[in-house]
Structure 1
Amino acid sequence: MAATQVGWIGLGSMGIGMSKNLQKHLSKAGSPSLIYTNRTLSRGELLQELGAIPVETVKGVASKCDIIFSCVSNDAVLQGITDEIIASGDIQGKVYVDCSTVHPDTSKTVSNKISAAGAEFVAAPVFGAAPMAEAGKLIFVTAGPPTAITRITPYLSGVMGKSIIEMGPDVAKSSLTKIAGNICVVSFMEVISEAHVFAEKTGLGSPTLEKLLSDMFGPVIESYSKRISTGIYAPAPDGKAGFDVSLAIKDARHALNCASGVGVKLDVSGIALDHMVKAQQLQPGRPLDSSSMYGAIRYESALDFFTDLCKKRDGSI
């Protein structure tokens, strides 16, 4: 029986770390090397150095692979990739696994298309930022046919992630779970940003607040606080965001859309969305992290968008 060939599509801030860990696992197991593609293929140079094999197109990956993973920026890109996979030839018996954060309706549409073409689809969005992807510590939320879940599980826990939350056969459930988690994350970030601005304006000071957050709520909340205190919220003009604010805006809009459909108000998510959009308006063309809502809240509170730490880093003071 031929060895399983695994493929990867998408090398953004999450995909690059995930695919590197997958290739390391395949190499250690003596399995065929990962075949990958990306819109900018040169982004995979480090992956290629680990032994992975680049190809020019999605069709090239799909035609060669038995299991195909993707991690892409938005719903439209996922839909386009799905169409290319189906157009690659006979995909009977293959498994397509998408790790992106998309609307539940998109997951259902993709699943229907893939199933109609004779393959199986697994929605497998992940919890965790780029450093967790690099460290192989992501949390996967999987939904899809049990046979497909069984085939992909050896590549998830202990390889790209630390755990798996299984949601059954309905692919919409994994997307909804990810959206529920994002409601918490964006709300935490909004509240922590407001608290930091409060601490600065009252003279309490951000270091004191961060110590309180760490001691009282633990390392996860402390990590959100450090996105503010270390200047991650607003990278240098030539830098790159850990999680781009445009993606966080997309995720927040998905949450608000799903909530509206069932008659639920997400007040904090709505406020956070407004602040992220405001941050983009205040700093057009500049790389901004999802936590850049902090800069918008600073601006609304008569503070500079950038902290002194950011300005010193950028050489503006």
Structure 2
Amino acid sequence: MAAHVPGAYSPLGTGTHSPMPFSRPATPGPHHCTIGWVGLGAMGYLMARNIARYRGTHHPGSAPVVVYNRTTSKSEKLQKELGEDKIKIAKTPGEVALECDVIITNLANDDVVKSIYKEYAKALSGMDTKSARTKIFVETSTIYPSLAGELDSMLTGSILHTHLVTCPVFGPPAAADHAQLICVMSGDYRSKKEVAYLLVPAVGRKVIDLGGNIEKAPTFKLIGNSLILSSLEILAETFTLAEKAGIGANTLYGLVKDMMPAPPLLNYGNKMLHDQFDGSKGFAIDGGIKDSAHIRKLSTELDAPLPALDAAHRNLLTARALHTAQVARGEHKFDVLDWSSLIAGTRVAAGLDGFDSAQHSKVVPED
């Protein structure tokens, strides 16, 4: 399969099966605004890189993307990769909020997100509202839905000419790298339209619009992640059963490829099969535990039991505890675990080695 190049994408329309549910915004459109990006983690770095690269290629003369990251070296790395004409480094989140028209945030957890928005609000509180331009804040982090309301009140409730769009994304870092993310949006309609054409096809391949209630997109993100995480739990349990039965997880993985070749099952199944649990190249286990905790809270509030998700949460905790013990003994292979390492929990419960499948009994075909 040919490598995907960000921007190499089929034409967009507005039909039922279109990747874009909005008509194009009125001229001059979103490409003439200044974009800010806060958070250059495993996903944010790739997304910010792609949007800056796309604008530089398809809209020459666009202002550089203004980036901020707590660890300045990440910002410097991105600027060195793309050049000063595409990346400008900000010293504070407040500077990004003041200078930019669209401010996109991608951060690790709710507490960090809330702290950054407090800095946005503080910086904008002294702004001259009569001459102020409209600012759109885009929250792409996976947050608990009620936090979206807090952020909205913090900004739009007290600062004129501001709008908040919640826009979590689906896809692992590999999808972010190739601009193949699915973006889920809720919030102000006109703002969503502007943001949609900034993000697709620059960083994503499709937008799902969930209406004006800003809590809907974060809610859908948690539901989608519960589907993925519960699927990983089923993979982990059945792979472990195949190992114990003397058939081998690799044989079962072949069946997955033949009958259920969904990208998450193939991607994470391959990681489980080969013990590729490096969280620096995937979705770190702390993020998985944070998400599963959010999902369980949501299911409790809505009286909607999720037993597979509950099992996945326990196995994530088990995997992290096993890894912590390895680190203490100086025996760890990875500094950070990927959430596919939850299979360590099912393996240990079955009497197998959690992280090293080479220690399992070899499958010997019987004639």
Classify the TM-score, shorter chain: over 0.9
Map of 1:96 onto structure 2: 137
Match of 1:185 in 2: 228
1:134-174 Cα offsets, whole Å, 9 max, x none, are 11000000011012112212211211000000011101000
Among 52, 69, 73, which residue is 1:38 paired with?
69
Which range moved further: 301-310 or 108-117?
Answer: 301-310
The 8 Å contact of residues 60 and 88 in structure 1, kept in 2 or not, is answered as yes
Query: Could you tell me which residue of structure 1 aligns to residue 206 of structure 2?
Result: 163
Q: How far is 1:34 from its partner?
A: 0.5
- SS of match in other structure, 2:183: strand
The equivalent of 1:293 in structure 2 is 342
Identity of counterpart residues, as a percentage?
A: 28
- Whichever residue aligns with residue 73 of structure 1, its letter is A
Question: CA, structure 1 residues 153+279, in 2 after alignment: closer, same or farther (shift >3 Å)?
Answer: same
Give the deviation of 1:3 after TM superposition. 3.5
State the structure with more CA Rg. Answer: 2
One of 244, 248, 251 as aligned partner of 1:205: 248
Matches within 5 A, 1:80-95: 80-89=115-124, 90=127, 93-95=134-136
Q: Deviations over 1:66-118 (max 9, x none)?
A: 10001000111111111111111327620000100000000111112121212
Deviation beyond 6 Å, 4+ runs, structure 1 = none
> Are the structure 2 counterparts of residues 85 and 92 from structure 1 closer, same or farther at C-alpha, using a change threshold of 3 Å?
farther
Superposed counterparts of 1:97-136, under 5 Å: 97-116=138-157, 117-118=159-160, 119-136=162-179
Contact 2:110–2:143 (8 Å) recurs in 1: yes
The correspondence of residues 48-59 of structure 1 with structure 2, limited to 5 A, is 48=79, 49-51=81-83, 52-59=87-94
Letter in 1 for 2:356: T
Which residue in the other structure is 1:231 paired with? 275
Give yes or no for contact 1:95–1:122 (8 Å, CA) kept in 2.
Answer: yes
TM-superposed deviation, 1:25: 1.3
CA offsets per residue over residues 230-277 of structure 1, 9 Å max, x none? Answer: 322x32xxx725111111111111111111111111111111101101
Counterpart residue number, 2:287: 247
One-letter code aligned to 2:314:
D
1:153 aligns with 2:185: no
Q: Conserved in 2, the CA contact under 8 Å of 1:241 and 1:287?
A: no
Change (3 A) 1:59 1:12: same
| TM-fit CA distance, 1:207 | 1.6
Contact kept in structure 2, 1:122 and 1:148, CA below 8 Å: yes
2-side partners of 1:216 and 1:41: how far apart?
46
1:13 is matched with which residue: 22, 42, 49?
Answer: 42
| Unaligned ranges ≥5, structure 2 | 1-27, 328-334, 361-367
Deviations 1:15-54 (A, max 9, x none): 0110110011121112111010101111134421213111
Unaligned runs of 5+ in 1: 312-317
Please give the TM-score of this superposition, normalised by the length of structure 2: 0.80
Q: Which moved more, 1:83-92 or 1:169-178?
A: 83-92
TM-score normalised to structure 1 length: 0.92
Alignment RMSD (CA, Å): 1.8
For 1:110, give the aligned amino acid: L
Closer, same or farther in 2 for the Cα pair 1:215/1:248, shift >3 Å? same
Contact 1:26/1:34 (8 A) holds in 2:
no
Distance 1:268 1:207 in 2: 23
Q: CA offset at residue 308 of structure 1?
A: 4.4
